[in-house]
A and B are shown apart, each in its own frame.
Chain A
Amino acid sequence: MTEDAHLVDNVESSQSREIFWDKDVYNLELERVFGRSWLFLGHESLLPKPGDFITTYMAEDKVILSHQQDGSFRAFINSCTHRGNQICHADSGNAKAFVCNYHGWVYGQDGRLVDVPLETRCYHGQLDKAKLGAKHVRVETYKGFIFGCGDADAPSLEEYLGEFRWYLDTIWEGAGGGLELLGPPMKSILACNWKVPTENFVGDGYHVGWTHAGALGQIGGELAGLAGNRADMPFEELGFQFTTRHGHGFGVINNAAAAIHVKRDGWAKYLADTRAEVGRKFGPEREELYVGHWNCSIFPSCSFLYGTNTFKVWHPRGPHEIEVWTYTMVPRDADAATKSMIQREATRSFGTAGTLESDDGENMSSATHVNRGNITRDGRMDSSMGVGFEGPHPVYPGIVGSSFIGETSHRGFYRFWKEMLDAPDWAAVKANDDNWDSVFTNRDYWADKIEAAE
């Protein structure tokens, strides 16, 4: 790891403003972050039958995700190997084959090139179709969530999620049914750097009371007290923040899972009915997490709010723009009426016209575009909230911050982002596995706190 602290300073907890603006930084991100990470592609529930497909992105690469006859999933670059044309222009569907519009080259469900018009007469038997299949990317799934990776040397998806699975299992497996995604996704363009919403979801409990004051006041419920930061509450007893080895992290507000949902009877009942089983399987700490509200990002560009149950992918489109895709997460084994109401409430709050979504957009675009200014860009951003009030914990994996309003998981996200930019390959990343969390220097924070409480 280099010691250059210009882009990200893990000691001072600051970042250069160039990270939201510079084209050079973005190009390096495409290569070293997006090119080497596991990126969310879809969920099994979005393409349940053999032949089902969806088209999506891995950063700026267009990808077809295809359900194979044997039940597995494959993903390949959505570009014809002849002259490069995009192969498939539909959002989703079921196809025996994909036919390029340009010259009619035919690709199978698995991406192999299976037919070429006029092949015998025009190619004189010289075309090696086996070498001209669509370019594949690695595909692996975890609890129904499907990810793709463009780096043959990257660790498996399970290793990449790492100890974050301890947390994810709480909700992605839950009492047994786990989660699924409901589509089709809403899609919108937001003029911001992709890291702005990712950092917001991974660890910004701070903005909730101020940015969303108007919406929270209307919604009422558990979080209404946060509106306008008027709440007189002991923040340290209301939740935590977490960051893990590969930058995945979240903040949790205890007992607030369904807080943003106005019509929540079905969802609240589902949680009440299943929490004991989650506690039995995973223990009391995770039972508590199960009924909390999570703001979460999976490194690099996939975020969700568990409880509110909105699920987002921030597809980058250059350094200053993203395409936002919004799905809804629902328990697989909930009844249809409950799933439908969760979807309606998640969309009402964080869909394209959502009451809370509509508060966030301008913050994200202005935090990006002010850096057009030369004097502005030659400056830094601060994320020091809660430094020292965090550390390794006897129960929770990773690094644990003392409050859901803090910037522990924010710092953890940028710590790993810098590590990926600096590292020439995954071997160099793996070399840091034993000391990655040394930037969180208060090693005894939780031991002292727990001892003091006893």
Chain B
Amino acid sequence: MSVKQISVAQDVHFAIEAHYRTEVRLWQTGQYREWLKEMVAEDIHYWMPIYEQRFIRDRRPDPTPHDAAIYNDDYGELKQRVERLYSGTVWMEDPPSKIRYMVSNVEAFDAGDGEFDVYSNVVVYRNRRQLEMTVHTLGREDKLRRVGDDFQVFRRKLNIDARVTQDKNLYFFC
């Protein structure tokens, strides 16, 4: 990204950070249907590509949505993931695990037409059962759209830092 992009005004920046805080609260309290309905646009592309560890001299291009990805979801696919959690038969989540998010380094830029490019860092802590604790760090690249007095995300790219996931799965929203 360019450093010459137009930063948003302070009130918009505050509103975007507040939006992210609400998003985290919905996830931490298991309100996934509400999150999807209110905060995700129906034209969402929700994407977590796989980055190999390659030599700096390696000229192969970065991954595209046509390549292998951990998430590569449209709205219907995200909805399927959400609904699975309400099925009452996800034994791994019963008793439920705990998840805690830290979102920081929010940088927001005005992309025109009521759209915003927003970069942030996310730390995810998951606690399961008695002793299992895992940590994931991600860089997040969003495109948000102003909808009424709030925002909806319509592009989300999640850059997970670990090459080898040190967890059973990455089935959480972020």
Q: Can you list 22 pairs linking A and B with CB atoms under 8 Å apart?
A: A90-B52, A90-B54, A93-B55, A95-B55, A184-B68, A186-B165, A187-B165, A188-B164, A213-B89, A214-B85, A214-B88, A228-B89, A262-B80, A328-B68, A344-B69, A348-B77, A352-B170, A353-B70, A353-B171, A354-B171, A359-B92, A361-B92
A254 within 8 A of B: no
A273 to chain B, nearest CB (A): 23
Contact of B169 among A227, A262, A336, A354 (CB under 8 A): A354
Q: Which residues in A have some Cβ–Cβ distance to B below 8 Å?
A: 89-95, 182-191, 211, 213-215, 217-219, 227-228, 262, 323, 328, 336, 340, 343-344, 347-348, 351-355, 357-359, 361-362, 365
CB pair B53–A347 under 8 Å, yes or no, is no
Q: A190-B168, A353-B171 are in contact. Are A218 and B54 (CB under 8 A)?
A: no
Instruction: Please report the C-alpha to C-alpha distance between residue A357 and residue B71 in the assembled complex, in whole angstroms.
Output: 13
Query: Smallest Cβ distance from A369 to chain B, in angstroms?
Result: 10
Q: Please, how many angstroms separate the alpha-carbon atoms of A328 and B70 in the complex?
A: 12
Within 8 Å CB of B70, what residues of A?
186, 347, 351-353
B87 contacts the other chain (CB 8 A) = yes
**Contact flags (1/0) for B19-55 with A, using CB distance below 8 Å?**
0000000000000000000000000000010101111
Point out the residue from A91, A188, A215, A365 that lies within 8 Å of B84, measured CB to CB.
Answer: A215
User: Interface digits, B136-174 against A, CB 8 Å rule (1 contact, 0 not)?
Assistant: 000000000000000000000000000111111111000
CB atoms of B163 and A91 under 8 A apart: yes
User: How distant is B126 from chain A, measured CB to nearest CB, in Å?
Assistant: 12
The reply to whether B89 and A358 form a contact with Cβ atoms under 8 Å apart is no
* Per-position binary interface string of chain B over residues 116-134, scored 1 when its CB falls under 8 Å from any chain A CB and 0 otherwise: 0000000000001000000
Check A352–B68 contact: CB distance below 8 A: no
Residues of B that sit less than 8 Å from A by CB: 48, 50, 52-55, 58, 66, 68-73, 77, 80-81, 83-85, 87-92, 128, 163-171
**Assembly CA distance A185 to B70 (angstroms):** 10
Given A92-B54, A262-B77, 17 additional A-B pairs, CB 8 A: A90-B54, A90-B58, A93-B54, A186-B68, A188-B167, A211-B91, A214-B84, A214-B85, A217-B84, A227-B89, A348-B77, A352-B165, A352-B169, A353-B71, A361-B168, A362-B91, A365-B168
B164: contacting residue among A90, A189, A353, A362, CB under 8 A = A189
- The residue on B at minimum CB distance from A213 is B89
- With a cutoff of 8 Å between Cβ atoms, the chain B residues found around residue A359 in the complex are 90-92
User: How far apart are the CA atoms of A361 and B90 in the complex, in Å?
Assistant: 12
Q: CB-CB < 8 A to A184: which residues of B?
A: 50, 52, 68
Q: Is the CB of A89 within 8 A of B53?
A: yes
Q: Are B87 and A214 in contact (CB under 8 A)?
A: yes
Nearest CB of chain B from residue A46's CB, rounded to whole Å? 11
Q: Cβ of B91 and Cβ of A218 under 8 Å apart?
A: no
- Interface contact A358-B58, CB-CB below 8 Å: no
**With known contacts A190-B168, A358-B171, A91–B66 Cβ distance under 8 A:** no
The interface residues of chain A lying within 8 Å CB-to-CB of B55 are 90, 93, 95
Contacts of A217 in B (CB 8 A): 84, 87, 89
Q: Are A355 and B81 neighbours in the complex by a CB distance under 8 Å? A: yes
**How far is it, in angstroms, between the C-alpha of A123 and the C-alpha of B29 when the chains are bound?**
67
How many A-B pairs with Cβ below 8 Å? Answer: 114
Q: Which residue of A lies closest to B129 (CB)?
A: A362
Shortest distance between the CB of A306 and any CB in chain B (Å): 18
Pairwise interchain contact A188-B68, C-beta atoms closer than 8 A: no
The minimal Cβ–Cβ distance linking B168 to chain A, given in whole angstroms, is: 3
> What residues of chain B lie closer than 8 Å to A328, measured between beta carbons?
68
Let me know if A218 and B68 touch, CB within 8 A. no
A358 in contact with B92 (CB, 8 Å): yes
- Whether the pair A218, B80 counts as a contact (CB closer than 8 A) is yes
Residues of chain B lying within 8 A (CB to CB) of residue A186: 50, 68, 70, 165
Asked whether A92 lies within 8 Å of B52 as measured between CB atoms, the reply is yes
* Least Cβ–Cβ distance between A410 and chain B, in angstroms: 21
B84/A344 in contact, CB under 8 A? no
Q: Please, how many angstroms separate the alpha-carbon atoms of A332 and B87 in the complex?
A: 37
Report the bound CA distance from A351 to B171 in whole Å. 10
Name the residue of chain B whose CB is nearest to the CB of A348: B77
Question: In chain B, what residue has the closest Cβ to A327?
Answer: B68
Residue from the list B87, B165, B171 in contact with A213, Cβ < 8 A:
B87
Expressed in whole angstroms, the minimum distance between the Cβ of A278 and any Cβ of chain B is 27
- Beta-carbon nearest neighbor of A94 in chain B: B58
A348 CB, nearest partner CB in chain B, Å = 7
Known interface pairs A92-B52, A217-B87, A343-B68; A358-B164 also in contact (CB < 8 Å): no
Instruction: Chain B residues near A352: list those with CB within 8 A.
Output: 70, 165, 169-170
Bound Cα distance from A355 to B52, whole angstroms: 23
Give Cα A94 to B58, complex, Å.
8
Question: Bound state CA distance, A262 and B78, in angstroms?
Answer: 13
**CB–CB A340/B66 < 8 A:** yes
Residue of A189, A344, A353 near B166 (CB, 8 A) is A189
Most buried by A among B68, B80, B128: B68
The minimal Cβ–Cβ distance linking B63 to chain A, given in whole angstroms, is: 8
Most central of A227, A328, A347, A365 by chain B CB within 10 Å: A347
Query: Closest Cβ of chain B: how far from A196's Cβ, in Å?
Result: 13
Contact between B168 and A358, CB atoms less than 8 A apart: yes
A90 to B169, CA, bound (A): 24
Determine the residue in chain A with the shortest Cβ distance to B97: A362
* Assembled-state Cα–Cα distance A344/B68 (Å): 7
A365 to B70, CA, bound (A): 22
